[in-house]
Chain A
């Protein structure tokens, strides 16, 4: 596949896309204005239908959640609502007017719990270090859905397959920047090589702290919240200014596969113990008149 402009991403994102390198998103939530251009661009490029045609009453968020048909989702955290304990917020910091907005997406985790759970190999790691569902292999077992610690991947019951963000695998192959990042007017979503992005993101945290935003931190970069419990890093990582739960993100997600061995060991030990008990009972009773005086 050739793009109309070779290496177009060099012009739009300042990076060239080459197989064998690691690519991802850095989403700087302090720059998000909630325009949802990313949601629209994603739906357009990937030909995804709308999920909810009505209004939800959840602030300006009528998308609600990531799903099989929604691969970018802009959250609107209204911090002016009464807080816990009945306290009403009466002051607003001079930043984002007390709104938190965040464009959520598949984190393209490394290692990726969905991929580790998939029994068919439909979910695979691409040459760009992204995580993609191969639609011609998925049999709709649905195991990736509860495996994902971030509630991203989902089944579409009309075609019986799992779907999620592909980090625009087709566009990357053609040398294009992913649609959401390209459409983002404030560069809240930045596409690039992971190492470049991480460096840029660390610099941004320093810059914000220098401006007095000492609550800015990275979520998903190596060694930060989100990249925990056996998940080394999220290839789509974020800059946040409040606790992860406020953005519906787990503070300390864990790699589900690490629970496999301990469970098996305990269960097999129980079977072994009962086998021994059964052997004693059969041996003592000779399989015969057990329980009879």
Chain B
């Protein structure tokens, strides 16, 4: 007699009942991941501009600090709204648990918000000093949300922890450079905007490489669509601007908007794909296949 095996599609599992449960995370978490990631990366880019950009990058430094603070203020309400008992949001800081990305993330967010508030003070020694820790925590903001998703048992997130983190990190940097580029264009500084567009393009290329490396063998159309918008459009716009003798402001703006929208869509699509992947027993059992043939007793 044959029992079901991992390769027998129809017979696997128990009446198709999901062996793991889906997270309750919805668009509010996706919104936070995008806002927090872009804010964190904006602080990083602002710090880079302060260190390496010289006088002409001062606008970028200032705008980056403001964006970081704005994200640190606007993001958390989405997190709190997603709690099922929101009045107890402060319990997030009740303990510190290094094994929990959500606990670690709560402290990253708190520290990032505090230092970003100081860094947004009028230019001076205090704000410059505060920007260093703010930018380091900002790098964490750009990344930790992906690790938070991967440190679960949802197959879509759990099977690619590294590439998911690189995708989120790159998408955050692309989004921040795009937002800063829009601000530079608005201020009539196309030169710095072009530098920022190049950073967006570099980050988009990284995102693309990571998504190819992730090797998700079930196709998620929404994730692919988000990549097309957030990666292909900015890359194409940037390439066109590099090749033409007169870089177009419109192309720069379109590329930046696409990077931001694509980033938001990517977060939402990845969260939905992870939740949905729990409903496919085959994906869970593929994730939990033993690394070497198991020593189960003989089948009768």
Contact = CB atoms under 8 A, between A and B. Distances in A.
Tell me if chain B binds chain A.
yes
Interface of A: 58-59, 61, 64-65, 75, 77, 79, 83-85, 87, 89, 91, 93, 113, 116-122, 137-143, 145-155, 157, 159-161, 214-217, 225, 228, 242-243, 245-254, 256-257, 259-260, 262-275, 277-283, 285-293
26 contacts: A83-B2, A83-B8, A84-B4, A117-B100, A119-B91, A122-B91, A137-B91, A140-B86, A145-B23, A146-B22, A242-B299, A249-B19, A251-B289, A254-B288, A257-B151, A267-B143, A267-B166, A268-B169, A270-B206, A271-B139, A271-B169, A281-B199, A282-B57, A286-B56, A288-B192, A291-B197
B95 to A, nearest CB: 4
B131 interface: no
B195 A282 contact: yes
A279 to B, nearest CB: 4
> Looking at A249, A256, A270, which has the most chain B CB atoms within 10 Å of its CB?
A270
Contact of B161 (A65, A85, A259): A259
Interface of B: 1-6, 8-15, 17-25, 41, 44-45, 48-49, 51-57, 60, 82-86, 88-89, 91-92, 94-95, 97, 99-104, 106, 139-140, 142-144, 146-148, 150-154, 157-158, 161-166, 168-170, 172-173, 177, 190-192, 194-195, 197-199, 202-203, 206, 210, 241-242, 245, 247, 274, 278, 281, 284-285, 287-291, 294, 296-300
Contacts of B13: 245, 248
A143 B100 contact: yes
Contacts of B48: 275, 278-279, 282
Given A251-B289, A282-B195, A292-B191, A119 B103 contact: yes
Contacts of A252: 288-291, 294
Nearest to A89: B1
B290 to A, nearest CB: 4
Nearest to B139: A271
B11 A272 contact: no
A87 B3 CA distance: 11
B294 A225 contact: yes
B84 A140 contact: yes
A277 B104 CA distance: 28
Contacts of B22: 145-146
A277 B48 CA distance: 10
A155 B24 contact: yes
User: Chain B contact residues: over half helix, strand or loop, or mixed?
Assistant: helix
Contacts of B94: 120-121, 137
B91 to A, nearest CB: 4
B84 A157 contact: yes
A215 B23 CA distance: 35
B191 A290 contact: yes
Contacts of A121: 91, 94-95, 97
A287 B4 contact: no
B169 A216 contact: no
Per CB-CB distance, the 4 closest pairs between chain A and chain B, nearest first, are A140-B84, A287-B57, A291-B194, A267-B143
A89 B4 CA distance: 12
Contacts of B52: 278-280, 282-283
A267 B1 contact: no
Nearest to A225: B294
A74 B152 CA distance: 26
Given A120-B94, A216-B297, A248-B19, A138 B85 contact: yes
Given A256-B150, A278-B177, 7 more contacts: A83-B1, A139-B83, A140-B83, A246-B3, A256-B158, A283-B52, A288-B191
A145 B24 contact: yes
> Looking at B92, B100, B297, which has the most chain A CB atoms within 10 Å of its CB?
B100
Contacts of B161: 259, 262-263, 266
Contact of B21 (A89, A145, A263, A264): A145
A285 B17 contact: no
A84 B11 contact: yes
Contact of A118 (B97, B148, B154): B97
A263 B150 contact: yes
B206 A273 contact: yes
Given A279-B48, A281-B198, A217 B296 contact: yes
A274 B164 contact: no
Contact of B92 (A139, A215, A262, A282): A139
A287 B195 contact: yes
A269 B169 CA distance: 9
A290 B195 contact: yes
A139 to B, nearest CB: 4
A287 B151 contact: no
B236 to A, nearest CB: 15
Contacts of A87: 2
Contacts of A242: 3, 299
